[in-house]
Amino acid sequence: MSMKDALAKIVGKENVSDTVADLQLYSRDLSLLPQGMADAIVWPGSSEEVGKVVAYCNENNIPVVPVSSRTHLYGSSIPKQGGVVVDMKRMNKIFEIDKENRLARFEAGVTWSQFSAALKEQGMRTIMPLLPRPDRSVLTDTLDRVVPTNIVYDYGEPTQSLEIVWADGTIFRCGSASVNGFPDSKSRGANPSGPGLDFYRFMQGAQGTMGIVTWMSAKIESETKIDKIYFAPITDLELANDFLHRILPRRIGQECLLLNNVDLAGIAAHNEDEFEKLCATLPPYTLILTMSGVMRRPEEKIAYEEKFLGEVLRNEFRGIKLVDNLAGFPGMARKIMPMLRAPWPADVKYWKDSLRGACQDIFFICRPGKVKGLIEIMDSIAAKNGYPIADIGKYIQPIEHNRASQVEFSLFYSPEDETEKAMVAKINREAAEALMNAGAFFSRPYGEIATMVYDRATNYTTTLKRVKKVFDPKNTMNPGNLCF
């Protein structure tokens, strides 16, 4: 029996394909990494079907590449060694929205657009990264530890429990979802630790190399009753960092982030002319800070935070001007506030794609005090290679009340211009190495950057390979990613 026939027996012949058109569709993504052709694509409809597909591939030493988003960004879904792409887009059920325990359980194919809309109907919301693509999988981005804009410590780890298909096809539930009687048990999957070992962390950042996660439970939150947004024009990043060190550990604010003029203009502009105007007139950086009141005494909460902020600004940080709208940009508050709580609109071209057609992001975590120096390194390498510093998008995301920062540089380029693509790829390599040498921590490495990270972290790499041997002894799960 052919591989296609064997897979068709599991998922149905209409849900398996080896046509050239389908294989080419999955052969590349929006990264600069080379293409790779799979041998077949399957679209399973349940965890049981995923388990049977994976078991068949494992028995026959066929690589398995899991996919759940509609748009792929970093190369981890490219079939680097052929095999079978397991696309879980049909598995898009939201099993439950548990308002009492503030969690939702959903399958891998659920997108940000779908998830946000379903929660809104129930008066709930999710904690999300900055403007996620509407067709990205919530589960994928959550497992990949994409940093949210909300800096409150409680939201930094949204995962509660998972269902995993291991490399041999075994279906396994971790966290409190593994207790008898789930999902009708009293635990409801609300505690990620559950009984015994915390298996769910093996899946975080693993890019499908350990197993396939078919559904997860994640934290959600009630919709806010009152929201206020403030802006501060920033020219001195060190002063801004001192200010954030003063207010964020006191749990002041919800969303908090800094965008340079390029990124803020790209997000706010409606067309190219408006983008150019905003770029030229916005401050070098803009601090965006929201304050929110939820269910209990929202007015008092907002009043307390505003009082504290006023005292700090008057007595300690007169150089920071926090205002409810940016001078010269009427309507900016009304535009940005709802954008921080929603994915990018599905009917509007994604902002990073609209500027030049494509974008290469370089992102890492560092100590907040290192941000300014690392930006200078990035600017120097870009200028040396002929990329205009004024065209680089820069996004600084405080993490856990400013204990750390994620810094993201965006290099916009034309995907049809091979010279430009080669320049951006070169900058990506050189900048990553220089930034690592200066203390940047690439916690989510892809492609060439992954190779650099694992070459430097010998002990960690050795341990990771031992873990991989336990979960996937035949190395069939997404080979070619991480250090495998």
- Report the C-alpha gap between 134 and 347 in whole angstroms: 9
pLDDT at 194: 58
The residue among 263, 222, 231 whose CA lies nearest residue 130 is 263
Cβ atoms within 10 Å, residue 376: 11
Cβ atoms within 10 Å, residue 324: 10
- Edge-to-edge strand list for the sheet holding 64-67: 16-17, 40-42, 84-87, 64-67
State the DSSP code for 479: T
User: Strand, coil or helix: what is 410?
Assistant: strand
pLDDT at 190: 63
pLDDT at 192: 60
pLDDT at 165: 98
- Report the C-alpha gap between 391 and 359 in whole angstroms: 12
Return the beta strands (E) in 220-327 as ranges.
221-222, 226-234, 256-260, 285-293
CA atoms within 13 A on the CB side of 268: 26
pLDDT at 361: 98
CA atoms within 13 A on the CB side of 475: 11
- Cβ contact 57:4 at 8 Å: no
Which residues in the chain are classed under CATH 3.30.465.10?
94-222
- Fold designation for 3-87: 3.30.43
User: What is the chain's pLDDT, residue by residue, as a tens digit (484 residues)?
Assistant: 899 999 999 999 999 999 999 999 999 999 999 999 999 999 999 999 999 999 999 999 999 999 999 999 999 999 999 999 999 999 999 999 999 889 999 999 999 999 999 999 999 999 999 999 999 999 999 999 999 999 988 888 899 899 999 999 999 998 778 877 788 776 666 666 555 567 888 999 999 999 999 999 999 999 999 999 999 999 999 999 999 999 999 999 999 999 999 999 999 998 989 999 999 999 999 999 999 998 889 999 999 999 999 999 999 999 999 999 888 888 899 999 999 999 999 999 999 999 999 999 999 999 999 999 999 999 999 999 999 999 999 999 999 999 999 999 999 999 999 999 999 999 999 999 999 999 999 999 999 999 999 999 999 999 999 999 999 999 999 999 999 9
Burial of 357 (0-12, 13-18, 19+ CB in 10 A): middle
- Report the C-alpha gap between 44 and 50 in whole angstroms: 6
pLDDT at 153: 80
The residue among 73, 68, 26, 28 whose CA lies nearest residue 359 is 73
Which residues in the chain are classed under CATH 3.40.462.10?
231-437
Beta bridge partners of 232: 287
Which residues in the chain are classed under CATH 3.30.43.10?
3-87
Beta bridge partners of 397: 406
pTM for this structure? 0.95
Give the phi and the psi of residue 217 in degrees, each rounded to 5. -105, 135
- Fold designation for 94-222: 3.30.465
| Contacts for 27-30: CB closer than 8 Å, 24+ residues apart | 27/78, 27/79, 28/78, 29/71, 29/72, 29/73, 29/74, 29/75, 29/77, 29/78, 30/71, 30/72, 30/73, 30/358, 30/359
- Report the C-alpha gap between 246 and 132 in whole angstroms: 29
User: Strand, coil or helix: what is 408?
Assistant: strand
pLDDT at 196: 58
- Specify the CATH number for 231-437; select among 3.40.50.1100, 3.40.462.10, 3.90.25.10, 3.90.1150.10: 3.40.462.10
- Cβ contact 380:430 at 8 Å: no
Find tokens 């908090």 and name the residue: 256
Cβ atoms within 10 Å, residue 364: 22
Strands 226-234 and 358-366: unpaired
